[in-house]
């Protein structure tokens, strides 16, 4: 059963300006060290950062919670399977909320161009409570 769907679209340039304004601490607040290393390894890292941020926004939309309470941006990490397929690894309060909802699978799709980055999250499972 589909428990939630979230979609987010981000302007890459705006995200890049936010990083320039707030510095590396901004990235460290949002992303895991592995995600930062992955993005920095790219010729143009900002579309990759922006897509990962969009994944977090799409996730909280799919959960239906917004990013409130004790949920942290770093409670979700984007990783890739050997095939290149992206997936979300949940931690902390975000994992607890997903468990309470009955989420058993989290599907993630990412896309980006030089100008925009987007993500879609679909939550699958057996509904428990909202």
Catalytic residue from among 22, 85, 107, 112: 112
pLDDT digits (tens, 9 = 90+) for 23-75: 999 999 999 999 999 999 999 999 999 999 999 999 999 999 876 666 789 99
Catalytic residue from among 61, 79, 91, 107: 61
The angle, 0 to 180 degrees and rounded to 10, between the axes of the packed helices 46-63 and 92-101 is: 40
pLDDT digits (tens, 9 = 90+) for 7-18: 999 999 999 999
Q: Look at residue 128 in the predicted model and tell me its pLDDT.
A: 76
Beta-bridge partners for 6: 121
Is 91 annotated in the active site?
no
Domain boundaries, the chain: 2-125
pLDDT digits (tens, 9 = 90+) for 86-113: 999 999 999 999 999 999 999 999 999 9
The angle, 0 to 180 degrees and rounded to 10, between the axes of the packed helices 12-22 and 46-63 is: 100
Question: In the CATH scheme, what is the homologous superfamily, with its name and number, of domain 2-125?
Answer: 4'-phosphopantetheinyl transferase domain (3.90.470.20)
Give the C-alpha separation, 110 to 55, whole Å. Answer: 7
Is 80 annotated in the active site?
no
As to burial, measured by CB atoms within 10 angstroms (0-12 exposed, 13-18 middle, 19+ buried), residue 14 is: exposed
User: What is this structure's pTM?
Assistant: 0.93
């Amino acid at each position: 059963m589909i428990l939630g769907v979230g979609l987010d679209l981000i302007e890459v340039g705006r995200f890049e300006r936010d990083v320039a304004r707030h510095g590396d601490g901004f990235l460290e607040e949002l992303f895991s060290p592995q995600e930062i290393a992955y993005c920095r390894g790219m010729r143009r890292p900002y579309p990759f950062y922006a897509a990962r941020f969009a994944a977090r926004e799409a996730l909280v939309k799919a959960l239906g919670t917004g990013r409130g309470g004790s949920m942290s941006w770093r409670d979700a990490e984007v990783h890739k399977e050997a095939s290149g397929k992206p997936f979300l690894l949940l931690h902390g309060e975000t994992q607890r909320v997903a468990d309470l909802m009955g989420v058993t699978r989290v599907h993630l799709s990412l896309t980006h161009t030089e100008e925009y980055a987007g993500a879609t999250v679909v939550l699958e499972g057996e509904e428990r409570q909202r």
